Structure 1
Amino acid sequence: MVSPILRRALTEPGLRPLPERAARLLEELDAPPRLAAHLRAVHDVAADLVDWAHERRPGLAVDAEAVLFGAATHDIGKALHPAELSGPGAEHERAGHALLRERGVEERLARFARTHSSWNDPRAGVEDLLVSLADAIWKGRRVTDLEQRLVEVLAAASGQAEWEAFMDLDEVCDRIAAGADRRLSFQSSYPVGGGTESTA
């Protein structure tokens, strides 16, 4: 039975709902409500980035399903390593990837649980970079090197100068980062544990 607070974290208005398959996985795991709220915040930002990419970079091939599912499950391993919800650690990355694969999620969708912190890997594609970016700017954090990697990909795909791609990306990042307080408030209104009280 899904706890009422987890269900509320998954359904409360204000942010886009997670893909049904991702929400169902979180329910099956009886995931911490704070984790569900975090994944919704990052997924919501990823959806904005995908919409922006389709509108402003129509020539850029982006697997929207992969980006959205990846953002919705990138930290799912924290259901197994809940201490990493409020403290440092990377055990959730391998654990989350393994968990998704064990549950039949194909690699093209599961990989983000393992790669969302590895955007500097030369093999990272545009989808990986978008998930990593969403995981940073949801809370207003700008990561210059990550954004530069994405600028290079955008410029190469469109044929425009890097400075033009930078200006375009900078504008959308500024706009998204401006909503960070609302997303942080949404996340912090849910407890790290399964109880009913919020934990800062």
Structure 2
Amino acid sequence: MPSDALRRALTDPGPPPLPDEAARLLEDLDAPPRLAAHLRAVHEVAAELLAWVAARHPSVAVDAGAVLFGAATHDIGKAVHPDELSGPGSRHEPAGHALLRERGVDERLARFARTHASWGAPDTGVDDLLVSLADKVWKAKRVPDLEQRVVEVLAAASGAEHWEVFMELDDVCDRLAAGADRRLAFQSSYPVVA
């Protein structure tokens, strides 16, 4: 049975709610409330990035459902390694992937738990890049190499000029970064441990 703090982190006013399947997974794990709040913040940014891609680059093939689920579960391994909620670490990545697969989540959705920090791999697709970008920009962290990868993939897929995509993405990231204080306050209002 999930804690009251987790229930609040999943339902309190703030970023939009997580997809039902992701929320159920967090409840089943009785995940740390701060993890649920973090996932809601990243999920919100991913949704905004998807809306931008759909509006400005509609020819780019994006699996929006996968991106949203990936953003909503990318750090689920921190339920197993809660010390990584307040400190560095990457043990949560393989642990989260294994946890999702053990619970019957398809690889196409579970992969984000292990790929969200490895956006530099040569075969990283647009869906994975969008989850990685959301996981940075939610807190106003700008990662030029990651953003450059997103620009390259979108420009190649849409046929748009590289410089044009760069300018658009820069504007979107600035706009999203402007909401970082609100998202950080939301996340920090929930305990690491219930």
Specify the alignment match of 1:134 in structure 2.
134
The TM-score normalised by the length of structure 1 is: 0.96
CA distance in 1, matches of 2:118, 2:72: 17
**Deviation of the 1:103 alpha carbon:** 0.3
Pairs aligned (count): 194
Give the structure 1 partner of residue 145 of structure 2. Answer: 145
Secondary structure class of the residue paired with 2:87: coil
Q: Which residue of 2 aligns with 1:8?
A: 8
Which amino acid is the alignment partner of residue 182 of structure 1? Answer: R
| Aligned residue in 1 for 2:67 | 67
CA–CA separation in structure 2 for the residues paired with 1:80 and 1:162: 41
Q: How far did 1:3 drift?
A: 1.0
Answer yes or no: is 1:32 the counterpart of 2:53.
Answer: no
Counterpart for residue 197 of structure 1: none
For residues 39 and 109 of structure 1, what CA distance do their matches in structure 2 show? 15
RMSD: 0.5
Q: Give the TM-score taking structure 2 as reference length.
A: 0.99
* Superimposed CA distance per residue, residues 23-45 of structure 1 (whole angstroms, 9 cap, x where no aligned partner): 00000000000000000000000
Alignment identity in percent?
75
Q: Which amino acid is 1:83 matched to?
A: D
The C-alpha deviation readout for 1:49-92, integer Å capped at 9, x for no partner, is 01111111110110001100000000000000011111111100
Q: How does 1:162-181 map to 2 (within 5 A)?
A: 162-181=162-181
Give SS of 1:155's match.
helix
Q: Provide structure 2 residue ranges, at least 5 long, that are not aligned to the other structure.
A: none
Distance 1:12 1:29 in 2: 19
**Alpha-carbon distance in structure 2 between the residues aligned to 1:106 and 1:158:** 28
